């Protein structure tokens, strides 16, 4: 039912209108009345009527002044002016101001009811139109959000070029340009269903963890997308290193709190943080590092849970070795310092019952997993880390004394130092093979990163990371630029038409090829064929690429 308010300085008129109409029976509520416009404004703010019936000639604030204020503050409120014959010019002024209608005094109840019904129908139609527009806007927002999430997912996966990312971002009002970038990924598992903000944690540490994580979810300035039902990814960008590092500190606090959780947790948050990158095209490197970081941290968490369970069964005390100190020694230590350092750090294991429990295994495995997690930041391209880890864990199962533990820690240290001594060019031959494979297959319109990865017997994600890290370009950017160069050669040396050249360099959509050619070279295919210079155009391409690597 619509709410109606009466405003008239004559109490008799207000009472007559109020009492002569069966309001609820007619589908209305008489929600209030006022003797002048000034008092009416206060009541309108409180009662929010749908329709206001007001006299024109009133003290303090008259009907026209009240109508003008209502048009500005509450444009959805419908106004009906009460006027006498002598006030007809005022009524016409009111109509020009946006007043819905007017009626002459005295007015019959049936006429007023008919007028109210007309106004009510108008309100219903306007609300229906507004609801329809709101639904369309909501669908548009949802569509835009889906496009944003796809763009961020493709960017992190290395499926699009820098130029494509910037253009697609502009299309969905997403500013991707910044000086520095970093990717973060999380995987959240809870015992109970429902929003994280409503979970009741078992202890203060877990409460703090949930609050910090919810803060990260609510941070509107960070670009965010869902990778799966449980995985959430962030793209952190900033104009200074200090800014982006301060923002990453929020996630590092979450990591710190998650390591303090006990085994009986209501929520498990696995988190991975990638390195800070200076180019938009390298976001996917940071993303892959974040995924790997999360993987090793999850292994650490699982190992600790198993250790807690073992301790619960055996009722023995346990220690965690100094992981930070051990990793720091691996980074800067020398072979001459190794025996004394290992003996000192292993002294914490004296008295361990190696044969009766598996606690010693999990303590050393905890240290091993931390070493592998740390090594990925320094030696991203090491071969088969999981295979090496399994070999070391096999050796771990044979540790039966502190002396065996010292020998194992020595092996672990030497493995790290092997990674440390490897040259940066270890992937040179593989990259040359990939480039040669691209040059031989660029004209295949289905050619992909997966094909190249299978050619060199490597996973697509690892090849993508190595290729970008070593060449400074993503795989798709290298392939695209090579195809455009080949197209330029064909334009200058043959009489083929544009759609034919598109097909010859691996594009079955000639329109897409023409758009891509213009974007990369700065010239249309016709302009290049007629006036283009190969050497100068290549220079422009390289310059544009350098400017776009933000």
Helices 428-441 and 460-471: angle between axes, nearest 10 degrees: 100
Dist. CA 152–CA 504, nearest whole Å: 31
Calculate the alpha carbon distances from 542 to 485, 513, 547 in Å: 12, 19, 9
Residues 6+ apart with CB under 8 A from 311: 317, 318, 359
pLDDT digits (tens, 9 = 90+) for 462-505: 788 788 767 767 888 889 989 998 998 898 888 899 999 999 99
Query: In the predicted model, is pLDDT for residue 509 greater than 50?
Result: yes
Q: Residue 550: its pLDDT value, please?
A: 36
Give the CA dihedral 358, 360, 364, 369, nearest 10 degrees. 30
Q: Residue 195: its pLDDT value, please?
A: 55
Q: Residue 458: its pLDDT value, please?
A: 85
Q: Residue 423: its pLDDT value, please?
A: 44
Statement: the pTM of the whole predicted model exceeds 0.85: no
pLDDT band at 546 (very low <50, low <70, confident <90, very high): very low
Among 145, 243, 159, 261, smallest CA distance to 205 is for: 261
Q: Residue 318: its pLDDT value, please?
A: 53
Average pLDDT, the chain: 82
Dist. CA 530–CA 411, nearest whole Å: 66
DSSP string computed for 498-515: HHHHHHHTT-S-HHHHHH
pLDDT digits (tens, 9 = 90+) for 216-225: 888 877 898 9
pLDDT digits (tens, 9 = 90+) for 340-377: 888 888 888 887 777 767 777 878 888 888 888 777 66
Q: Is the peptide bond before 11 cis (omega within 30 degrees of 0)?
A: no
Question: What percentage of the chain exceeds 90 in pLDDT?
Answer: 17
Which is higher by pLDDT, 429 or 433?
433
Query: In the predicted model, is pLDDT for residue 37 greater than 50?
Result: yes
Question: What percentage of the chain exceeds 70 in pLDDT?
Answer: 84
Which is higher by pLDDT, 451 or 201?
451
DSSP string computed for 142-182: HHHHHHHHHHHHHHHHT-S-HHHHHHHHHHTT-----SEEE
Q: Is the peptide bond before 390 cis (omega within 30 degrees of 0)?
A: no
Dist. CA 484–CA 525, nearest whole Å: 11
Q: Residue 312: its pLDDT value, please?
A: 57
- For the sheet with 101-104, list strands across it: 28-34, 2-7, 51-55, 78-83, 101-104
- Tell me the mean pLDDT in the region 203-213: 76
- Tell me the mean pLDDT in the region 444-467: 86
Q: Residue 384: its pLDDT value, please?
A: 55
According to DSSP, the β-strands at 101-104 and 78-83 are parallel
Residue 273: its H or E element: strand 267-273
pLDDT band at 198 (very low <50, low <70, confident <90, very high): low
Residue with tokens 């969905």, as numbered in its chain: 172
What are φ and ψ of residue 36, in 5° steps? -160, 170
Q: Residue 133: its pLDDT value, please?
A: 92
Q: Residue 383: its pLDDT value, please?
A: 56
3-class SS at 233?
strand
Residue 30: strand pairing partners? 4
pLDDT band at 92 (very low <50, low <70, confident <90, very high): low
pLDDT band at 548 (very low <50, low <70, confident <90, very high): very low
Q: Residue 549: its pLDDT value, please?
A: 40
Dist. CA 393–CA 457, nearest whole Å: 26
Q: Residue 88: its pLDDT value, please?
A: 61
Among 373, 153, 185, smallest CA distance to 271 is for: 185
Residue 133: its H or E element: helix 109-157
Helices 162-171 and 109-157: angle between axes, nearest 10 degrees: 170
Query: In the predicted model, is pLDDT for residue 339 greater than 60?
Result: yes
Report all structural domains of the chain as residue ranges with CATH numbers, in order of start.
2-107 (3.40.50.2300), 316-422 (no CATH), 428-548 (1.10.10.60)
Dist. CA 192–CA 466, nearest whole Å: 40
pLDDT band at 215 (very low <50, low <70, confident <90, very high): confident
3-class SS at 545?
helix
Q: Residue 329: its pLDDT value, please?
A: 83
548, two tokens: 């776009």
Residue 149: strand pairing partners? none
99, two tokens: 């007043």
């Amino acid at each position: 039912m619509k709410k109606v308010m009466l405003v008239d300085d004559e109490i008799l008129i207000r009472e007559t209108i109020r009492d002569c109409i069966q309001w609820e029976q007619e589908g209305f509520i008489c929600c209030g009345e006022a003797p002048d416009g000034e008092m009416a404004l206060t009541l309108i703010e409180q009662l929010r009527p749908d329709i206001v019936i007001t006299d024109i000639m009133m003290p303090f604030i008259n009907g026209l002044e009240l109508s003008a204020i209502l048009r500005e503050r509450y444009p959805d409120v419908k106004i009906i002016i009460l006027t006498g014959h002598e006030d007809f010019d005022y009524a016409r002024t009111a109509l020009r101001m946006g007043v819905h209608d007017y009626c002459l005094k005295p007015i019959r109840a049936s006429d007023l009811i008919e007028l109210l019904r007309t106004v009510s129908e108008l309100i219903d139609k306007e609300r229906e139109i507004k609801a329809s527009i709101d639904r369309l806007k909501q669908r548009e927002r949802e569509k835009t959000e889906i496009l944003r999430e796809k763009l961020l997912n493709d960017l992190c996966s290395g499926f699009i070029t820098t130029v494509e990312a910037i253009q697609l971002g502009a299309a969905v009002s997403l500013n991707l340009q910044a000086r520095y970038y970093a990717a973060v990924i999380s995987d959240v598992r809870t015992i109970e269903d429902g929003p994280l903000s409503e979970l009741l944690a078992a202890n203060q540490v877990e409460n703090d963890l949930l609050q910090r994580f919810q803060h990260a979810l609510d941070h509107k300035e960070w670009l965010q997308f869902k990778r799966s039902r449980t995985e959430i990814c962030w793209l952190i960008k900033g104009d200074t290193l200090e800014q982006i590092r301060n923002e990453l500190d929020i996630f590092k606090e979450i990591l710190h709190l998650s390591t303090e959780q006990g085994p009986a947790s209501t929520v498990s948050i696995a988190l991975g943080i990638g390195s800070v990158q200076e180019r938009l095209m390298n976001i996917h490197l940071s993303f892959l590092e974040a995924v790997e970081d999360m993987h090793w941290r999850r292994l650490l968490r699982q190992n600790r849970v198993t250790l807690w369970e073992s301790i619960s069964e055996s009722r023995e005390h346990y220690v965690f070795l100094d992981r930070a100190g051990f990793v720091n020694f691996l980074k800067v230590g020398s072979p001459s310092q190794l025996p004394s350092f290992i003996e000192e750090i292993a002294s914490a294991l004296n008295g361990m019952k190696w044969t009766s429990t598996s606690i010693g295994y999990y303590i050393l495995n905890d240290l091993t997993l931390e070493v592998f997690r740390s090594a990925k930041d320094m030696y991203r391209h090491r071969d088969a880390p999981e295979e090496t880890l399994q070999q070391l864990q096999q050796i771990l199962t044979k540790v039966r004394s502190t002396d065996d533990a010292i020998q194992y820690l020595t092996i672990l240290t030497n493995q790290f130092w092997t990674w440390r001594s490897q040259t940066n060019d270890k992937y040179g031959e593989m990259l040359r093979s990939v480039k040669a494979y691209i040059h031989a297959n660029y004209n295949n319109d289905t050619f992909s990163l997966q094909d190249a990865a299978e050619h060199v017997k490597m996973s697509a994600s690892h090849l993508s990371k190595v290729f970008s890290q070593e060449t400074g370009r993503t795989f798709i950017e290298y392939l695209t630029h090579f195809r455009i160069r080949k197209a330029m050669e064909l334009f200058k040396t043959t009489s083929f038409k544009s759609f034919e050249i598109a097909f010859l360099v691996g594009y079955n959509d000639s329109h897409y090829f023409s758009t891509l050619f213009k974007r990369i070279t700065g010239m249309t295919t016709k302009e290049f064929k007629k006036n283009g210079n190969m050497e100068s155009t290549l220079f422009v391409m390289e310059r544009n690429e350098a400017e776009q690597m933000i």
